[in-house]
A and B are shown apart, each in its own frame.
Chain A
Amino acid sequence: MYRYDEFDHKLVADRVNQFRGQVERRVSGALTEDQFKPLRLMNGVYLQLHAYMLRVAIPYGTLCSAQMRMLAHIARKYDRGYGHFTTRQNIQYNWPALDKIPDLLDELAGVEMHAIQTSGNCIRNVTSDQYAGAIEGEVEDPRIISEIIRQWSTFHPEFTYLPRKFKIAVTGHVNDRAAIKLHDIGLVVKRNNDGDIGYEVHVGGGQGRTPFVAKKMTDFVPKAKLLAYLEAVMRVYNMLGRRDNSYKARIKILVHETGQEEMQRLIEAEFSKIDASQMLTVPQEEIDRISAYFAPPAFQTLAAKSDGFTQAQSQDADFARFVRANVVAHKQAGYAIVNISLKPIGGVPGDATDAQMDVIADLAEKYSLDEVRVTHEQNLVLPHVKLDELKTVYDALAAHDLATANLGLISDQIACPGLDYCNLANARSIPLAQEISERFADLDRQYDIGELKIKISGCINACGHHHVGHIGILGVDKKGTEFYQISLGGAADENAAIGQITGRAFTEEDIVDAIETVVTTYTDLRADGERFIDTYNRLGMAPFKERLYD
C-alpha cells in the first residue's frame, strides 16, 4: 500500500487546521453560509435531510486494517455506530455534528485518511478494480497509476474550480470491475507490441440526467506521458466545458456536442504542447518509487489445492455456497479473493456497523496481509486469504452477518441513500432494495436466476447507477408521492451500455411485483446458459414490456 511521505502528512494536517478555522469562523458568524458552503464541500461535508454528512475518501478503494479500525472508531465516536460504503469506493457518515468534524478529520489524518476530493468541482477520488494486485491476468496493478494521478490531481490549482466534478477510474484487467466507461475519464492499462505499459483512454462517460458511455480517445499513451495526456483533456474541458448550465457542464456533454473526432483533435493538439515541454513527463525513478508501494505482498509458496479447504466445503453446505458465490481465484497459488457482501437479506446496501468494521479489520490484519478493498458495488473484499484459512475467515464473517452468499445475484443490489437521507432525492431507494431482497431471499432461487444486477437511484443524479443496471430502478416524485421507473439492459462492465426505460412508472405498492414480472419473463424465455443480460440482448425490450403493461 502507498504510505504518506512528509509532504502528504503536512498537506493533510494543514488542511485539517485550515478547515478547523473555517468551521470556527462559520459558527462565530464571521463567515456566512454562502461563504462557508463551498469550503465545507471541499472537505466532504454536505447537509442532508437529518444532519450533516461527511464523505471520507478511500483512494482506489484500498484500506489497511488500521484504517478500517479508524473508520469503525469514527462511526462509534462521531456518528451513530455505522457507515455507508458508496459507489465511489468511499464511506459516508450520516450524522456528524459540524463542530466535531475537525476533530474527526484530525483522527482520520492519524491513519493517513481525509475527505479531500470527495466533493466540489475538482478531480474526485480515483477509483479502481477491487481485485487489483490479486487477480490473474492483470496487465499491471492499476493502483500504481491511480496513485500517480492522485498526487497530480490533489489541490491542482488549475483544476480546483472546474465546470463540474470530474471522476477518473482505472482498470488493469480486461474484465472491467471499475465501470471505467461510465466515468469522465476511464483508463485501461495495456501493454503495446514492444511490451511497454501504457493506457487506453476513454473520455466523456457518465450517468446523471444525461447518461453516456465514454468514447475512446486514444489506444495507447505511454506511462510516463499519461499525466500530460490527462492534463490535455482537463485543459480542453476547462476551456470549452459549459459553465452557464450545471446540467450541461460535465465533460460528457462537451464530448457529445463536440464529437469524438474533434475532441481527439483538440486533446492531441493540447497534448503535443504539454508533451513538448516535458513538464509533465513522470520521471522513471518516481514511477519506480510509487510502484514499489504496490509490489506484491509477501505471499507464501503454497500448494494450489488445500485438502482442508476442500473438506470444509464437503462438511458445511453454507460454506460451500459462500465459496461458490463470493470467492474468486487468486493469481497466487494457495490464496483466494474473498468478497464480503454488505447486502444481507433485508439489509441496507453498503451499510456496515462499527462492530462489523472492527471484525473485518481484524480479519484483514490476521488473514489478508493487512488489506481490505471497497467495491463500487458497495461490498468489501479481503484480497489475499489463504485457502487453508478460508473456513476460519468465513466462520468469523458468518458470526457477524457478513457471509451472505449472494455476490452478483439479484439481492446484491446497488442502492443510493435515497430519500431516507439525501437532500436531493425524490424517492426512497433503500426500502425498495430491502423489499426486493426479501422477495428473492431464497438463495436457491437466486442461484437459478443467476447473475443479475439491480441498481436503484432515488433521483436522476443516478448515484445508484440505475442507468447501467441489468434492471435499473429510478425513483421519481409525482406531487409528493414516490413512483419508480424501470429500465432494462444496462451494463457497467467492459460491455458498458445504458439501459432503456420500459414505460410508465410504477407505484411503491406495485414496483416489486413489476420486478418479479421482469425476472420471470427472463426465466421463462432464457436459452441454456443465458444470463439475464444475454436474454435481454437477444430478445430486446418487447417481451418484457408486453408482460409488464398488458
Chain B
Amino acid sequence: MAQHAAKGARFQAVTANRLSDGEVVYWAADNRWVEGFADAEIADGADAADALLARAIPADFEAHVLEPYLFEVLEDGAFYKPASVRETIRAAGPTVRLDLGKQAGA
C-alpha cells in the first residue's frame, strides 16, 4: 500500500472505498463509515492513529469497504483538511469536473 502520511505526521484519519459503489468513505467517531470528510474521526499522534485504524478494520470490514488506510490531515483553523493533493481530490471530486463527486452536493 502506498504511503499516505509523512513520517511524524501528527493528525491522521482513516479512509476507504465502499464495496458496493466505490464511494470514498471515512471512519467516523460513532464507529461507522461516512461519506463526508468533515465527519471523519481525527487521530492525534501515532498511537491514536493505530488504534483508529484497528477500530476501522474489524474482522468483517471487507463486507463493507475496500483498502482502508490512514492518511495525513492538517489543522485548518478550527477544522482539518487532507494534507495531500490526492486526498483533497478524493474528499471533493475531480478538479476538472466540479459537478461530480462530493463537491457536487456541497
Contact B21 A47 (CB under 8 A): no
B32 to chain A, nearest CB (A): 18
Contact B22 A481 (CB under 8 A): no
> Does A394 reach chain B (CB closer than 8 Å)?
no
Q: Given A480-B83, A481-B85 in contact, is the A80-B95 Cβ separation under 8 Å?
A: no
> Does A97 reach chain B (CB closer than 8 Å)?
yes
A93 vs B3: C-alpha distance in the bound complex, in angstroms? 27
Q: How large is the interface on A (under 10, 10 to 19, 20 to 34, 35 or more residues)?
A: 20 to 34
Contact A434 B96 (CB under 8 A): yes
Contact A80 B100 (CB under 8 A): yes
A-B CB contacts (within 8 Å), total count: 76
Q: Given A32-B62, A33-B66, A98-B21 in contact, is the A482-B85 Cβ separation under 8 Å?
A: yes
Q: Which residues of A contact B86 (CB under 8 A)?
A: 49, 419, 425, 480
A428 vs B95: C-alpha distance in the bound complex, in angstroms? 9
Q: Which residues of B contact A49 (CB under 8 A)?
A: 24, 86, 89-90
- Chain A proximity mask over B82-97: 1 for CB below 8 Å, otherwise 0: 0111100110011111
CB within 8 Å of A: which B34-88 residues: 60, 62-63, 66-67, 83-86
A430 vs B96: C-alpha distance in the bound complex, in angstroms? 7
> Does B29 reach chain A (CB closer than 8 Å)?
no
Contact A51 B62 (CB under 8 A): no
Q: Given A419-B85, A431-B95 in contact, is the A50-B24 Cβ separation under 8 Å?
A: yes
Q: Which residues of B contact A421 (CB under 8 A)?
A: 94
Q: Which residues of B contact A427 (CB under 8 A)?
A: 85
Contact A50 B63 (CB under 8 A): no
Contact A420 B66 (CB under 8 A): no
B69 to chain A, nearest CB (A): 12
Q: Given A420-B94, A431-B96, A482-B85 in contact, is the A98-B19 Cβ separation under 8 Å?
A: yes
Contact B96 A348 (CB under 8 A): yes
CB within 8 Å of B: which A143-186 residues: none
A97 vs B95: C-alpha distance in the bound complex, in angstroms? 21
Q: How large is the interface on B (under 10, 10 to 19, 20 to 34, 35 or more residues)?
A: 20 to 34
Contact B22 A48 (CB under 8 A): yes
Q: Which residues of A contact B21 (CB under 8 A)?
A: 51-52, 97-99
Contact A29 B62 (CB under 8 A): yes
> Does A292 reach chain B (CB closer than 8 Å)?
no
Q: Given A33-B62, A420-B95 in contact, is the A47-B83 Cβ separation under 8 Å?
A: no
A50 vs B23: C-alpha distance in the bound complex, in angstroms? 6
Partner among B60, B85, B94 whose Cβ is within 8 Å of the Cβ of A50: B94
Query: Of A27, A99, A420, A477, which is in contact with the most chain B CB atoms at under 10 Å from its CB?
Result: A420
> Does A3 reach chain B (CB closer than 8 Å)?
no
Contact B22 A51 (CB under 8 A): yes
CB within 8 Å of B: which A13-35 residues: 26-27, 29, 32-33
Nearest 5 pairs between A and B by C-beta?
A51-B22, A480-B84, A97-B21, A420-B94, A52-B22
17 A–B contacts from the bound complex (CB under 8 Å):
A26-B19, A27-B20, A29-B60, A32-B62, A33-B62, A47-B17, A95-B22, A98-B22, A348-B97, A420-B97, A421-B94, A428-B85, A428-B89, A428-B95, A430-B96, A431-B95, A481-B85
